[in-house]
Copies of this chain bind each other. A is one copy, B any other.
Amino acid sequence: MSIKELGEFGLIEQLAKNTIVENKSVIIGIGDDAAAVVPRAGMTQLLTTDMLVEDIHFKLEWITLFQLGYKAMAVNISDIAAMGGYPKQALVSIAIPAQYGAEDIIELYSGMKQCCREYTVNIVGGDTVASITGLVINVTVLGEVFPDYMVRRSGAQIGDVVAVTGTLGDSAAGLDILRKEISGIGANNLVQAHFLPKPQVAVGQILASCGATSMNDISDGLASEINEIAKASGVGIELIASNIPLSKDLLNYAGAKALDFALYGGEDYQLVFTISPQNYNKIAQQQKTDIMITKIGQVCNNHEVVLIDDQGNRQELRPQGYNHFR
């Protein structure tokens, strides 16, 4: 059905279904001038927003609307995870090209709602407007965090361990596979990592409560995130190249270039953090099978960010994240 036939209000009525998955915190969801929510007493509120633009951030030849919706929500939830917080409420704005039917937007929302169910996030509001060209999606997420556990980017201490969750580079390799239109061993897992990233919310909370001193989610590649932490914290960081965790699928696909995907690729949505060696050891000893953390380096008292290879060679590690402003 066309959106014109259904009408903007008819469309919103469809989209508003099943948007509240945790109703204790919601007084007003979709349908008034503003949403109204109740924060938990004593919690600090977290706010983050991300805009995804067609043909800049995604190509609809490659990604389904369901996957795109899931991802648009996930990238925001990941920012809350990086602070050690709980994602709570989301607002969704979409600019819709003329050729889209109501079903397309409902499908896009299905992906968002799936992600919201997995992370217990309510969609409480938004805006639906027309686009003269491509699809634009903006998601804002409100989260909350125990004030004592909030982890900034700027708290890395000299002597801290640098560590990451999960494995890195899969998503970027997945994008490479899509670009080159190849298939092969493990290709599907890599592409799935690109399409359906899993924000590390529970792990972020554990790391925060166990004394992580700084944390970033890995959206622009490890090199970029490490530089951000070093700059914000006023410290240097040394990474051991051979310690950076890479999946078998990535190694099979990329061989000697696997590390480049991890360092410069982006969109992993894993976490990189710093923490005292004592606290790191405590977590490492308690690691459950579903939490994977790997020590990849240390914080040092110069202002250099360096990568040390197997031969002990040190090279400056610069961010090489793609710059959309060419």
Measured CB to CB, the residues of A under 8 A from B are 2-4, 7-8, 27-28, 31-39, 41, 44-57, 79-80, 82-83, 85, 89, 91, 93-96, 98, 124-127, 129-134, 136, 138, 140, 142-143, 145, 150, 152-154, 215-217, 232, 323-326
Contact = CB atoms under 8 A, between A and B. Distances in A.
Contacts of A134: 132-133
Contacts of A35: 46-48
Nearest to A90: B47
Contacts of A324: 8, 129-130
A217 B28 CA distance: 17
21 contacts: A4-B323, A7-B323, A8-B323, A33-B217, A34-B83, A36-B46, A36-B47, A37-B44, A37-B45, A38-B44, A47-B140, A48-B91, A49-B126, A50-B93, A52-B129, A53-B130, A53-B131, A91-B140, A127-B138, A129-B324, A132-B134
A31, A33, A45, A133: which has the most chain B beta carbons within 10 Å?
A33
Nearest to A27: B44
Given A53-B136, A55-B132, A41 B41 contact: yes
A33 B216 contact: yes
A61 to B, nearest CB: 15
Contacts of A136: 51, 53, 95, 136
Contact of A8 (B39, B57, B325): B325
Contacts of A127: 49-51, 138
